[in-house]
Amino acid sequence: MLNEIDLGRTDLNLLTLFEVVLKEGHVGRAAQRLNLSPSAVSHGLGRLRKLLNDPVFLRTPKGVVPTARALELAGPVAEILARVRNVISTAEPFDAAKSSRRFIIGAPDGVSSVFMPPLLALLHKRAPGIDIGLQQLLPPQGGRQIERAWEPLFDELDAGAIDIAIAPVDSAPARFVAETAYDEDFVAVMRSRHPFAARATLERFCTMRHLVVSMTGDPHGFVDDTLEKLGLSRRIALTVPNFAMGLATLSETDLIAAMPRRYVAMYARRFGLVSRELPFPLRSFSIRAVAPRVAMMDAGLAWMFALIREATERERSVRRRQTD
């Protein structure tokens, strides 16, 4: 127990070592991040094992994996380190205009393509030294329950693999901050002068050949769930791994696709595509920005979270003016 340990004899740098090894999943990469030798990291892990009375990390052919005890400690250790960093940062407040930090944002490509242009414009004006790493988030293969399709992103946030996630999340555990960035629904997209564009009926929708965006190649999606409830089905003639490829393919074929309305409004015209309302009711989605509450104690991350909110509000305002 902590109250039985003489902290004066405990190297608290081991907590930082624990955090980095957990993120990297590899001793060599952790050593590079910490500017240490692999042997120094291995020695530190040995001391950590004695301190915690647990193997902590188990070796595999591809690196190391945390034990169950290590996973239990991940949250408390992250909170401790965040509080320490917050205390230290008060001596030197975060200044976005001078910062050279890099933030990792995770999002599906149909979402990132909406918020990134206004976000980059704001960064260019206010924080030219800040960089963004964009990581594509994907639902698990075969994950057909919409309500749980994006749950793996919480593990990514807990592990520190991404700083902020922006995705169609219905709800988030209490340990996360979640704010609605915007609401999204879907429209049917097709090339100009496509037969479906002239008469967008439910019967014709079901007889058309469809394209589905699916990184895993799984052709079944929430549109199919809705059609099944109506006793209907459609033919998925092609799956593609991202929305950009989907638009390019639609422009050269007679395929049609259901895609996010905001994404279509921003990019479909470039490919000579048109959109129509879907001929059946389909649920809408709340796109939420999510970050660990403990991480929000970091002034820099809290600033980025607020900037994402502003970027999505700007995109919403531009879109409203275009439709008025």
Location of structure tokens 């052919």: 61
Report the helix count and the strand count for the chain, using DSSP H and E.
Answer: 12, 12
* pLDDT above 80 (res 162): yes
Residues 6+ apart with CB under 8 A from 207: none
Tell me what the pLDDT averaged over the chain comes to: 87
State the pLDDT at residue 1.
37
Q: What is the pLDDT of residues 294-322, one digit of tens each?
A: 889 888 999 999 999 999 988 776 666 66
Structure tokens at 77: 């250790």
Q: What is the pLDDT of residues 242-258, one digit of tens each?
A: 999 999 999 999 999 99
Domains by residue range for the chain, with CATH: 2-89 (1.10.10.10), 102-181+285-323 (3.40.190.10), 186-276 (3.40.190.10)
Report how far apart, in Å, the C-alpha atoms of 14 and of each of 17, 45, 74, 87 are. 5, 8, 13, 19
